[in-house]
Amino acid sequence: MDKLVLLPGPVMVHEDVLLRSAKQVMNHRSEEFEEILSECIELAKYLFQTDGNVAVITGSGTAGMEAAIYSLVEPDEPVVSVVNGKFGARFADIAERRGADVHRVEFEWGEAADPKAVDEALSETGASVVTVVQSETSTTVLNPVKEIADVCKDHDAYLVVDAVSSLGGVEFRMDEWGVDVCVTGSQKVLGCPPGLALVAVSDEALERMKEVEAGSYYLDLVKYFEYLEEDPMQTPYTPAVNAFYALHEALKKLKEEGLESRWERYKRLQEVVREGIRAMGLDLFVEDDSIASPTVTGVVYPEGVDDREFRGRILRDKYDVVVAGGQDHLAGKIFRIGHMGDVKLRDMITAVTCVGMGMLELGVDVDVGAAVERMAEVVAGS
Ligand SMILES: Cc1ncc(COP(=O)(O)O)c(C=O)c1O
């Protein structure tokens, strides 16, 4: 078991983070745990770039999405959901399950959301809640959250953002942009094992949540915020204590590196992968650099290459490199290289080179040498 895991989550976890989570459990209703929890919340505010409210839920990213919707949205109310991939559709499905009257603003998979269409949908529906995914992991597209937030402001609508696969790896400024609710997960950019969802809520959105009767017992965000006011500060239900240790360590690492430095570092990792793939002669699923996610890159399979054979027998079994396949109708058509978590330039260079060697083995005419040369240029800063 010595694989290079380059999935868009879960990701490689730094040894310090892993070892921290191996410590003995503690009473989660103690001053000792309060110290960890309160520092996690403070560091998470930095991560979200907010002075507002942050809750940490034991559960995966989807739990965070569901908590956001079931705490903010009332049954029957109109909701506008931007759908240009699997996770945008998941937000819409959750809102529908909540009983909302969901209006989907759809785009082709591989295209970015157009804020104008959100504007029109808000005018048409009078909805007061909009959902959007920042990095649509299924298509590797980065949606323009800031511009969509501007539109929401014009309509006095709350904006709920899924930044599960992007937060910490790409610019996101909750307060400055006017985002109301934002969700992320521990097992992506933060580089922790899976298990925690972080949800940030603006003061205005929290006021609304207090008026809404939450549709979920476990995922009632108001309760999480009430328990943060307890002495000692705590979570309503038994948290995954060891996952909090890991989160604490990972957030400290992020603060040490600095958000902006991490955003820059991720851009560089992305550029190495994209330029290497292009130089060898393969097609990127999202050709336009300006809408490509800095945390994951999709590559189009050349005609005749079998996904299982390539990702399984060759990349995983021969080269110990684990990448993701396509989702839903993109299964077998693309594969995705994650560049988030505890990854370095070395890992990107390894991945691209192994992709090239795997393609050669399958008879695809790629130029691995050109990819290496181009990656060297990118690393050298040209
Ligand atoms: C953008 C996005 N949203 C939501 C999720 C769901 O997260 P989880 O699998 O942690 O529930 C994922 C997972 O890949 C994701 O990439």
Q: Are residues 250 and 289 in the same domain?
A: no
In short, whether 85's Cβ falls inside 6 Å of ligand 1 is no
Work out the percent of the chain whose per-residue pLDDT is above 90. 99
* DSSP secondary structure of 250-261: HHHHHHHH-HHH
Q: How far apart are CA 193 and CA 247, in angstroms?
A: 9
The arithmetic mean of pLDDT across residues 26-53, rounded, is 98
139 within domain boundaries: yes
Per-residue pLDDT at 1 exceeds 70: no
pLDDT at 70: 98
**pTM for the complete prediction?**
0.98
pLDDT tens digits for range 152-192: 999 999 999 999 999 999 999 999 999 999 999 999 999 99
- With cut-offs at 50, 70 and 90, classify the pLDDT of residue 238: very high
Domain membership flag for residue 336 = yes
On whether residue 314 sits in a domain, the answer given is: yes
239-287 pLDDT, tens digit each: 999 999 999 999 999 999 999 999 999 999 999 999 999 999 999 999 9
Distance 368 CA to ligand 1 centre (A): 32
Largest CA distance in the chain: 65
- Can you tell me the mean pLDDT for 112-141? 98
Tell me: the pLDDT tens digits for 295-343?
A: 999 999 999 999 999 999 999 999 999 999 999 999 999 999 999 999 9
Answer yes or no: do 251 and 268 share one domain.
Answer: no
CA 30 to ligand 1 centroid distance, Å? 31
Q: Are residues 87 and 132 in the same domain?
A: yes
Tell me, yes or no, whether 4 lies in a domain: no
237 within domain boundaries: yes
Whether residue 287 sits in one domain with residue 225: no
| pLDDT classification of 196: cutoffs 50, 70, 90 | very high
- Cα(242)–Cα(314) distance, integer angstroms: 35
Looking at residues 211-227, what average pLDDT do you find? 98
**Whether the CB of 87 sits within 6 Å of ligand 1:** yes
2 within some domain = no
* Beta strand ranges found along the chain (DSSP E): 4-5, 53-58, 78-83, 101-106, 129-133, 135-136, 141-142, 158-162, 181-185, 196-201, 296-300, 321-322, 324-325, 334-338
Same structural domain for residues 193 and 294? no
Does 283 share its domain with 329? yes
> Within a domain: residue 64?
yes
Rounded to an integer, the average pLDDT of 221-226 is 98
Do 78 and 127 fall into the same domain?
yes
For residue 64, which atom of ligand 1 is closest to its CA?
11
Question: Beta strand 296-300 with 334-338: parallel, antiparallel or unpaired?
Answer: antiparallel
**Is residue 235 a contact partner of residue 10, using CB atoms and an 8 Å limit?**
no
- Tell me, yes or no, whether 222 and 298 share the same domain: no
Among 257, 285, 315, give the residue marking a domain's end.
257
* Structural domain count of the chain: 2
Cα–Cα dist 142/84, whole Å: 10
73, 114: one domain: yes
Residues 293 and 374 in one domain: yes
pLDDT bin (cut points 50, 70, 90) of residue 25 is: very high
Instruction: CATH number of the domain at 139, please.
Output: 3.40.640.10
Which residues, 6+ apart, have CB-to-CB distance to 103 below 8 Å?
78, 79, 80, 81, 121, 124, 125, 127
Residues 188 and 328 in one domain: no
Domain limits for position 332:
258-379
Q: Does 344 share its domain with 199?
A: no
Ligand 1, residue 187: give the atom nearest the CA: 10
pLDDT at 2: 84
* CA 194 to ligand 1 centroid distance, Å: 11
The CB of 100 under 6 Å from ligand 1? The reply is: no
Nearest to 89 by CA among 353, 328, 359, 346: 328
Cα–Cα distance for residue pair 304/306, rounded to 1 Å: 6
Whether ligand 1 lies within 6 angstroms of the CB of 52 is answered as no
CATH no. for residue 340? 3.90.1150.10
Nearest to 40 by CA among 179, 159, 190: 190
Flag whether 6 is in a domain.
Answer: no
Structure tokens at 246: 């890991």
Domain boundary among 212, 235, 257: 257
- Is 43 touching ligand 1 by the criterion CB < 6 Å? no
Give me ligand 1 centre to Cα 279, in Å: 30
Among 206, 225, 257, identify where a domain stops. Answer: 257
